[in-house]
């Protein structure tokens, strides 16, 4: 808390008024006239200070703005998708561009699913810690070599290997996304089995769910 002192202007007005009244109604041709006027002005100022004391106002300290906690998962999502988008813009090869677009879409879905259910985070640890960063590393290497605009055994060979690897990487990303639905798929399969059994017990079975007539 801080204290803000606000002084009243009334004492100054009273002191000035004494001089104005004295100049009109009292003599001011001797030095002691000025001394007496000054004494009266000071007395008026002191009286004003007593009648109109300073006001003290308590001002609360400014509170620093509250920062929302940063979610590491959403932060990593934004970083990875931004990097994939940047690489896609840089790399002109249509086939590789389409593969990067696919990886960007699947990666976004993976992060979104885990953000909705944090219990799935353990399922994507290897994806987060190895598959995704390694993929970005390979694509960055491809981008740098592509920008070099020079043909050579090392450059061409490395770019060819990376290009050939991207189909497997896309498939791995797809499998990672599919794996996140494994528990849900099991639950649904169990529900279907139980429902079929209950319908059969009640004589309402007929054609089993999930089978063609």
Q: Would you state the pLDDT for residue 1?
A: 56
Residue 206 lies in a domain: no
Same domain membership, residue 100 and residue 39? no
Same domain membership, residue 87 and residue 32? no
Residue 95 lies in a domain: yes
Same domain membership, residue 26 and residue 92? no
Length of the chain as a residue count: 213
Q: Specify the higher pLDDT residue, 59 or 178.
A: 178
Assign residue 92 the CATH number of its domain: 1.20.5
Same domain membership, residue 78 and residue 43? no
CA dihedral angle for residue 89, residue 90, residue 96, residue 101, rounded to 10 degrees: -20
Residue 202 lies in a domain: no
Same domain membership, residue 111 and residue 55? no
Residue 195 lies in a domain: no
Q: Specify the higher pLDDT residue, 104 or 13.
A: 104
- Which residue(s) pair with 58 in the sheet? 3
Q: Are 77 and 124 in contact (CB under 8 A)?
A: no
Residue 208 lies in a domain: no
Render pLDDT for 11-50 as a digit per residue (tens, 0 to 9): 777 778 777 776 777 777 776 677 777 778 788 778 777 7
Task: Find the domain containing 13 and state its range.
Answer: 2-59
Residue 25 lies in a domain: yes
The yes-or-no verdict on residue 211 having pLDDT over 60 is no
Q: What is the 3-state secondary structure (H, E, C) of the chain?
A: CEEEEECCCHHHHHHHHHHHHHHHHCCCCCHHHHHHHHHHHHHHHHHHHHHCCCEEEEECCCCCCCCCCCCHHHHHHHHHHHHHHHHHHHCCCHHHHHHHHHHHHHHHHHHHHHHHCHHHHHHHHHHHHHHHHHHHHHHHHHHHHHHHCCCCHHHHHHHHHHHHHHHHHHHHHHHHHHHCCHHHHHHHHHHHHHHHHHHHHCCCCCCCCCCCC
- Predicted TM-score (pTM) of the model is 0.60
Same domain membership, residue 174 and residue 77? yes
Q: Would you state the pLDDT for residue 11?
A: 73
Residue 212 lies in a domain: no
Same domain membership, residue 160 and residue 79? yes
* Residue matched to tokens 């450059």: 155
Same domain membership, residue 171 and residue 95? yes
Q: Would you state the pLDDT for residue 2?
A: 62
**Binning pLDDT at 50, 70 and 90, where does residue 3 land?**
low
Lowest mean pLDDT among 60-64, 90-94, 128-132, 165-169: 60-64
Mean pLDDT of the chain: 83
Same domain membership, residue 136 and residue 34? no
Residue 166 lies in a domain: yes
Same domain membership, residue 51 and residue 10? yes
Q: Would you state the pLDDT for residue 213?
A: 45
Same domain membership, residue 141 and residue 41? no
Same domain membership, residue 77 and residue 104? yes
* Number of domains forming the structure of the chain: 2
Q: How far apart are CA 67 and CA 167, in angstroms?
A: 42
Render pLDDT for 44-85 as a digit per residue (tens, 0 to 9): 778 777 777 777 777 666 777 767 777 899 999 999 999 999
């Amino acid at each position: 808390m801080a204290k803000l002192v606000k002084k009243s202007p009334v004492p100054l007005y009273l002191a000035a008024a004494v001089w104005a009244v004295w100049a009109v109604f009292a003599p001011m041709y001797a030095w002691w006239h000025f001394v007496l006027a000054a004494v009266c002005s000071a007395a008026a100022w002191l009286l004003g200070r007593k009648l109109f004391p300073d006001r003290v106002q308590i001002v609360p300290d400014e509170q620093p703005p509250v920062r929302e906690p940063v979610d590491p998962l959403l932060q990593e999502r934004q970083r990875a998708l931004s990097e994939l988008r940047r690489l896609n813009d840089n790399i002109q090869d249509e086939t590789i561009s389409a593969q990067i677009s696919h990886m960007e879409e699947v990666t976004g879905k993976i992060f979104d699913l885990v953000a909705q259910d944090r219990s799935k985070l353990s399922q994507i640890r290897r994806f987060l810690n190895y598959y995704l960063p390694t993929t970005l590393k390979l694509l960055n290497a491809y981008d740098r070599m592509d920008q070099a605009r020079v043909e050579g055994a090392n450059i061409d060979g490395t770019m060819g290997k990376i290009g050939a690897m991207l189909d497997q990487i896309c498939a791995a990303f797809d499998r990672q996304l599919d794996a996140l639905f494994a528990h849900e798929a099991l639950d649904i399969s169990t529900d279907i089995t139980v429902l079929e059994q209950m319908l059969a017990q009640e004589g309402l079975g007929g054609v089993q769910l999930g089978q063609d007539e």
